[in-house]
Amino acid sequence: MDSALLARARAWRDTDPDPETAREVDRLCAAGDEAELLDRFRGELEFGTAGLRGLLGAGPNRMNRAVVRRATAGVARHLIATVPDAARRGVVVARDARSGSDDFALETAGVLAGHGIRVHFFVDLAPTPLGAFAVKELGAAAGVVVTASHNPPAYNGYKVYWDNAAQIVPPVDAGIAAAIASSGPANEIPFLPRAEAEAHGLFVPLGDELALRYQHAIAGLVLHPGEGRDLGIVYTAMHGVGARFTLEALRRSGFANVHSVPAQHAPDGAFPTVAFPNPEEPGALDLALALCEETKADLLLANDPDADRLAAGARDREGRMRLFSGNELGVLLGAYCLTWRTPRPANPLVLTTIVSSSQLGVIARDLGAAYAETLTGFKWIENRALELEQSEGRTTVFGYEEALGYSVADVVRDKDGISAALVFADLAGWCRARGVTAWGYLEEIQRAHGLFLSAQKSVTIPGAEGAATIAAVVDGFRARPPAAIGGLSVVETRDYRAGVPGLPTSNVVAYLLEGGSRVTLRPSGTEPKIKYYFELRETPGQGEELSAAKARGDERLAALVADFVRLALERGQPG
């Protein structure tokens, strides 16, 4: 057993404010579990992607009270140093239903209060969009939401918003990380328990009143009130915290025929019916789809556990329940908001990411709206929207990313699965009143603005060598760029690490292909994965049925994916 490793583990244990995780370290040391100790103590959980996310457990490379306490000390110190009047304005603290969320939220509040910063604390479980809304609504200096979003049950996380109510971006994240590194042992960080913080006026409970203000705000996003409210809807909260809020939003808008999946309705951090509570994962929506058939529902709506994402499905003209892809849903919502918002916003703006469908850009051009692309992640979308609102007088109408993240207008400066569910239900009701389905409306959009087909492939490469292998694959494409993919010539290569005008650098490579198609590859920011994104633009023939053009496009898209996978294998991707 490595004596230096044992010394690091025991030194960390001695400063751990949580007796339970301290005992966990003792058990690992006594068992001589060197591999597990090395994984937990070889480094620290990296502060990035707007905060922290990791496995629960003892050690600096896990999510636990000690790590949260030190992270919050970093947030508090950087906040006081850089944001005017931060202590008085305070920090919003919210959490979901995951294991450890209650403890981590109270740790966060205690450290903030220990630094003299007022805490606006949600006394009940809250979805991530409500936490982000509260930062904006209260004029808070920052916000922290304890959540790991759609990760498996063994994870938790810590998401940080700054005084603009959007997730943090550079240089704020680097400033916080530096402050964390110099914050000292966890048990020496200033800390006030809740009772003491309340006695000093530093703990302000948030209750139903703020949730009601949120409901009023998102109700204003409805474009066709009263139309098609007889729709039958199935909803699932995926064992998360969205049911109370999404069902209330639908009820207030007049949707009365709504069925919530019983086994997934109540918040439960164990996620007993889904191993991976992400609506994109195969099988995650099986219970919801079964309830759709049982109730003959017209629409399926699903939030992830912290309700910042939305998955949706609708009946097609043959009566089959079909799920929309993230891009299809983004195109539907974007076109709907751009076309039907009245009065028309001044200088309308829509945004998406470099790995999402470029169809939104074509729609924006055709409808006379501004369009912007950002790096992957809603932190980039909302911060860019804020910049363009200020510099160009733009009005943000809609933003989305293909991973089921949508933001309508500027009510929440983050993705919001609750308001997106409400607006999509409104869209479907309007379609019903016109005698078409949401799928029919998508066809109308494709006929007017072009047919774009997309696909995604993720390859998981775990273990200590996984990150190096992923990096080698991406660098292999840089070193040997293909001249053609799937029979389509590469007309431009964009290396975002080398720099693309208007965007920060990022480890992403994109190949723009003839005819408006595109392939993009990047490592995941939160998982040991490399992700490939494919988009193929198909042009229907004169008088051709859209279904025939789509079938032909699907074949060409499959060939594009297959050829690129072959190229990836040649550049070191495991088979």
The CATH number for 539's domain is 3.30.310.50
Residue range 170-175: average pLDDT? 94
Q: Per residue in 352-384, pLDDT tens?
A: 999 999 999 999 999 999 999 999 999 999 999
In angstroms, the first-to-last Cα distance of the chain is: 35
> Are 176 and 44 within one domain?
yes
- Out of 155, 178, 206, pick the residue that ends a domain: 206
CA distance 204 to 89: 11
Residue 49 pLDDT grade (very low, low, confident, very high; cuts 50, 70, 90) = low
> Are 532 and 439 within one domain?
no
Residue range 459-470: average pLDDT? 84
The pLDDT value recorded for residue 1 is: 67
Q: What's the mean per-residue pLDDT of the chain?
A: 95
Residue 211 covered by a domain: no
> Are 411 and 432 within one domain?
yes
> Are 125 and 36 within one domain?
yes
The CATH number for 193's domain is 3.40.120.10
> Are 457 and 394 within one domain?
no
Q: Could you give the angle at the alpha carbon of 91 between the alpha carbons of 129 and 195, nearest 5°?
A: 115
Q: How far is CA 129 from the centre of its chain?
A: 11
Residue 80 covered by a domain: yes
The pLDDT of residue 562 is above 90: yes
Say how many domains are in the chain. 3
Q: What is the CA radius of gyration of the chain?
A: 24
CA distance 527 to 524: 6
> Are 439 and 455 within one domain?
no
- Out of 173, 206, 239, pick the residue that ends a domain: 206
Side chain identity at residue 370, one-letter code: A
> Are 317 and 438 within one domain?
yes
Among the ranges given (2-16, 38-52, 84-98), the one the predictor scored with the smallest mean pLDDT: 38-52
Closest CA to 441 of 343, 537, 357, 340: 340
Contact call for residues 155 and 55 (beta carbons, < 8 A)? yes
Task: Return the higher-pLDDT residue of 15 and 467.
Answer: 15
Residue 575 covered by a domain: no
Residue 526 pLDDT grade (very low, low, confident, very high; cuts 50, 70, 90) = low
CA distance 98 to 524: 22
Residue 71 covered by a domain: yes
CA distance 4 to 330: 52
What range does the domain containing 514 cover?
A: 451-570
User: Strands, DSSP E only, in 226-294?
Assistant: 233-236, 258-260
Q: Per residue in 224-243, pLDDT tens?
A: 999 999 999 999 999 999 99
> Are 258 and 355 within one domain?
yes
> Are 109 and 76 within one domain?
yes
Contact call for residues 192 and 110 (beta carbons, < 8 A)? yes
Contact call for residues 200 and 190 (beta carbons, < 8 A)? no
Catalytic positions, written as ranges: 149
> Are 475 and 436 within one domain?
no
> Are 162 and 38 within one domain?
yes
Closest CA to 418 of 337, 297, 305: 305
List C-alpha distances in Å: 229 to 48, 129, 196, 258, 318: 42, 25, 49, 10, 21
Residue 112 covered by a domain: yes
Residue 349 bridge partners (DSSP)? 370, 396
Contact call for residues 427 and 438 (beta carbons, < 8 A)? yes
Residue 544 covered by a domain: yes
Residue 85 covered by a domain: yes
The pLDDT value recorded for residue 2 is: 85
The pLDDT of residue 416 is above 80: yes
- Out of 423, 449, 475, pick the residue that ends a domain: 449
- Enter the tokens of residue 325: 């892809």
Q: Could you give the angle at the alpha carbon of 78 between the alpha carbons of 77 and 81, nearest 5°?
A: 90
Residue range 57-70: average pLDDT? 97
Q: Per residue in 305-347, pLDDT tens?
A: 999 999 999 999 999 999 999 999 999 999 999 999 989 899 9
> Are 290 and 232 within one domain?
yes
Could you give the percent of the chain with pLDDT greater than 90? 93
Residue 101 covered by a domain: yes
